Amino acid sequence: MISKNDIIGTSLIVSAQQVERNISKLLNKAKVSQVQLRPHFKTHQNLQVGQIFRAQGIREITVSSIEMAQQFAADGWEDITIAIPVNIRALSSLKELSEKTQLTLVVEHQDAIDAIQAFDGLDIDLMIKVDCGYGRTGVDAKNTDYILSLADSISQSAQTKFKGLLAHFGNTYNATSSYEIKEIFNSSMQSLLNAKAVLDSKYNDFIISIGDTPSMSVLEKWEGFDEARPGNFVYYDWMQCQIGSCQIDQVSAVVACPVIAIYPERNEVVVHGGGVHFSKESIQVDDRPCYGQLVKDPLAFPLEKVEGCYMKKLSQEHGTLHVSDEIIQKFSIGDLIGVIPIHSCLSANLLQNNTFVI
């Protein structure tokens, strides 16, 4: 068992037990709803955490880059969706990858389909990215003529197979309650089902894939889709706690930071933990910007919040915590404190080489 003495620098601490619980909770929902869980591995990007998924029977995964797909394929993952519109400059790497693993790519433009079909020897399953209101990527769900023409074009070549429609309801992150998350989910799902209805008259063997952590966490029953791709739920974070996706006791990852300066006169403790460890993402909590939440002990799960103490400012390497009068007396230089990040996916990415799964 790791102790605080083993942790020298800024690190991500992950509770294997809480990870297991988070996976089994969503996996149970998936099983009851007869939905395939294809978790997004971009959150953790960690082979050890991947093994925890595998131990629970997960075989199909999602990633968001070719490099991640290569990393997990090398670790024996044999069914991978790269859920970002395909980069046609990388078709030769994708062809190589598709020879090692069952690969699915995402398209949203005719030119990408043309490039894939013109690339000799690349036989691949394709999903059409549909935008249901998030406004990042995807064909507008209302543009059913174009969606249908893309599906037709994919199906006309023996090289490409139309696998289905893929959407991401990332606008659930704008919600401020689980009620609002459900409202955004329902309206997005309705747009997606309208698009599906147009394809149903012509195609009968395709899937609907969605999956953001807020929706998948708050919905009691998963309906209307075949595949779910949440990623963040494996760790959760302070943003998810604030928008109503989870409770603090479900958070399984925390950033451990050494205390490097203390200023009782201004209620501030400075840690080695800045934008390069947390990213500069913040949320408003009680009308103030918050870059992370202080917990009692970075090695004690379930994590416990320290009231009134939060990360208020970040520079590249420094993090400034606001700390209340009663608590500040307890800090010493060299202490190791724990901060729940706003967005665990970004901290996990930044701290990949300093992650302890305990």
Ligand X SMILES: Cc1ncc(COP(=O)(O)O)c(C=O)c1O
Contact residues toward ligand X (CB under 6 A) are 40, 83, 168, 211-213, 229-232
Which SS3 state, helix, strand or coil, does residue 215 take? Answer: helix
CB of 63 to ligand X, least distance (A): 10
The least distance separating ligand X from the CB of residue 37, rounded to whole angstroms, comes to 12
Measured from the CB of residue 198, what is the shortest distance to ligand X in angstroms? 22
Sign of the alpha-carbon torsion through 186, 192, 198, 199: negative
**Residue 196: burial class (beta carbons within 10 Å; 0-12, 13-18, 19+):** buried
Contact between 311 and 292 under an 8 Å Cβ cutoff? The reply is yes
Q: Least distance to ligand X from the beta carbon of 7, Å?
A: 27
| Closest distance to ligand X from the beta carbon of 315 (Å) | 26
CA geometry: angle at 11 spanning 7 and 16, to 5°? 90
Q: What are 292's strand-pairing partners?
A: 311, 341
Taking the C-alpha atoms of residue 210 and residue 231, their distance in angstroms, rounded to an integer, is 11
Q: How far is the CB of 40 from ligand X (least distance, A)?
A: 4
Q: Residue 101 or residue 245: which is nearer to ligand X going by CB?
A: 245
The C-alpha atoms of residue 297 and residue 304 are separated, in whole angstroms, by 7
CB of 211 or CB of 244, closer to ligand X: 211
Residue facing ligand X at closest CB distance: 213
CB crowding 147-159: b at 16 or more within 10 Å, else e: bbebbebbeeeeb
CB of 166 to ligand X, least distance (A): 7
Element (H, E) at 307: strand 305-314
Closest CA to 41 of 4, 5, 6, 70: 70
Q: How far is the CB of 229 from ligand X (least distance, A)?
A: 4
Pick the closer one to ligand X by CB: 117 or 236.
236
Residue closer to ligand X, measured from CB, 81 or 320: 81
Rg of the chain, C-alpha, whole Å: 22
What are the φ/ψ torsions at residue 168 (nearest 5 degrees)? Answer: -130, 120
Q: Residue 214, preceding bond cis, omega within 30 degrees? A: no
Give the whole-angstrom CA distance, residue 323 versus residue 162: 55
Q: Which residues contact 253 (CB under 8 A, 6 or more apart)?
A: 12, 13, 14, 15, 235, 236, 237, 341, 344, 347, 348
Looking at the Cβ atoms of 29 and 229, the one nearer to ligand X is: 229
CA–CA dist 100, 133 (Å, integer): 35
Q: 214 vs 273, which CB is nearer to ligand X?
A: 214
- In the bound complex, what is the minimum distance in angstroms from residue 75's beta carbon to ligand X? 20
